[in-house]
Amino acid sequence: MSKRLKWSIIAGVLVLIGVFVIPEAYAYLTKRNYESEAVSEEDVPEGYEVATFAGGCFWCMEPPYEKLDGIYEVISGYTGGDTENPTYEEVSAGGTGHIEAVQVYYDPGKITYEQLLDVFWRQINPTDDEGQFVDRGYQYTTAIFYHSEAQKMKAEQSKKALSESGRFDKEIVTPIREAEEFYRAEEYHQDYYKKNEFRYKFYRGNSGRDDYLEKKWGEDRELELPQK
């Protein structure tokens, strides 16, 4: 083995360690052991409303909303279960009753709940009740959590329209549920696609999500909504 090849291999290994091992070690030693925190009404910015969606891995559900005009913030977290202040390890292992979800703080004067629903359907496989793409298990299933009767009605209408569109040849199984206690996930999960861009792209590119969405939606996948 030549010295050049040897050093190239060593350099490659060091890059992989830097990209995959160090961030994980940092997260574990600093924030991975923290519990999640319950979100209260006081956490919602004045003048904004809340929408809650579960679409499998919450890392993948933040970017589509955060780029839109009228969105104040998107929070990754856990909801739907009975375990108080669950950790990521507990939720991902199953058994807590929680599923990964995001809360979207939006300005109804700039973007409507119906538009948020349109974005939601374009991120998921609504016919899969056993997980989403590479992530399997109840904790990665989909759901729409409504915060008012108006949201419930609009969600039901949106689901019905999608079912009747003929875009999917299987039943739309995404449930529409009343919003429950929402727990903000550990800080290292928030804006993960920004903090760990390479690792996020590697995961997403191999998850099967984008291939599926391109096949199902094609040119209709991207909505013409104002962006920041």
Q: How many residues does the chain have?
A: 228
Q: Does 57 qualify as catalytic in the annotation?
A: yes
Quote the DSSP letter at residue 147: S
* In contact, 96 and 90? CB cutoff 8 Å: yes
In the block, residue with structure tokens 């997260």: 27
The Cα 122–Cα 104 span in angstroms is: 16
Count of CB atoms situated within 10 Å of the CB of 176: 16
CA distance 103 to 23: 25
Question: What is the DSSP-derived secondary structure letter of residue 171?
Answer: -
User: Which listed residue (57, 61, 91, 144) is catalytic?
Assistant: 57
Which residues belong to the active site? 57
